Structure 1
């Protein structure tokens, strides 16, 4: 499978990762400030609290460098996923590349998660559960996540001749529309 067939995270994923890391960095800095201020009120632990404050500031700076600046760049450039007839392939890593292949027939459950920051940027994370564990497709566009989830849950695709095919199709708007039309017809038949 060539590298061009793989999909990347949404471009906004870097921003979402940075915002989440900045919130944690701010929390660490607030603890550092609280420790420093409390050192003036608790004279018996004054020097220890100032050292704790200094340590927390160092931790906040290191955390910011790694998780606000480096990790979003690294994760965005190395994370890839692909959906095909064989299943879902998730590729992560730069030096040590980990490629996880999940055949469609092994998928037991699929969950879609949206945090409040992800929701603001229209992103979602899919967690695909199998008997062997979970695989995540992180920070992709919500529309794409819904399409993947719908195609996996549908299980079978109705082709143009209304013949059932047990082979999943590539995720395109046309294939997604076919599934939605087939579901609408099924729902109307039940009514």
Structure 2
């Protein structure tokens, strides 16, 4: 029996996910500011303001520090001759096997934040869905994309 996948994604993923968390927190800050302004205008209890600020602090802690760390610790993958195994999830760990014979094409995707940190995400398309391996070093992502593409062609020839 094959164990858990062992290959981790880049540690730089933590930094990228934390940046995403900061951006999400800035959006939350707008709502908190709105709640504070409304509390002032309508002379609501100070409890509304305190609650809004505490929720914002908790939200920021979760999305900037805790969840990215937990997500990175769980995210693993393994590319084998016959399949690709993905493991992810924070509270519920999801393991997926993608048979090579089902792979239709493989892409690398890179947004501005990933590019800034030299990372790419691999997308693996099958007839049913698209699977991702996020935040890999660019060189590793290119090599992995080529490797999966080659293995998928070999698997297709065997069918």
TM-score by length of 2: 0.78
Cα deviation 1:38-81 (Å, max 9, x = unaligned)? 666xx4x4539x94x65543332221122112111111111110
1:90 to 64, 81, 86: 86
Larger Rg: 1
Aligned counterpart, 1:181? none
Correspondence list, 1:24-173, <5 A: 24-37=24-37, 43=41, 45-47=42-44, 51=48, 56-93=52-89, 96-154=92-150, 166=154
Unmatched 5+ stretches in structure 1: 158-165, 168-191
Cα deviation 1:152-177 (Å, max 9, x = unaligned)? 334578xxxxxxxx36xxxxxxxxxx
> Are residues 10 and 131 of structure 1, via their aligned partners in 2, closer, same or farther at CA, if it must alter by over 3 Å?
same
Q: How many residues align?
A: 155
RMSD between aligned alpha carbons?
Answer: 3.0
* Higher relative contact order (CA closer than 8 Å, sequence separation 6+): 2
Unmatched 5+ stretches in structure 2: none
TM-score by length of 1: 0.67
Aligned counterpart, 1:174? none
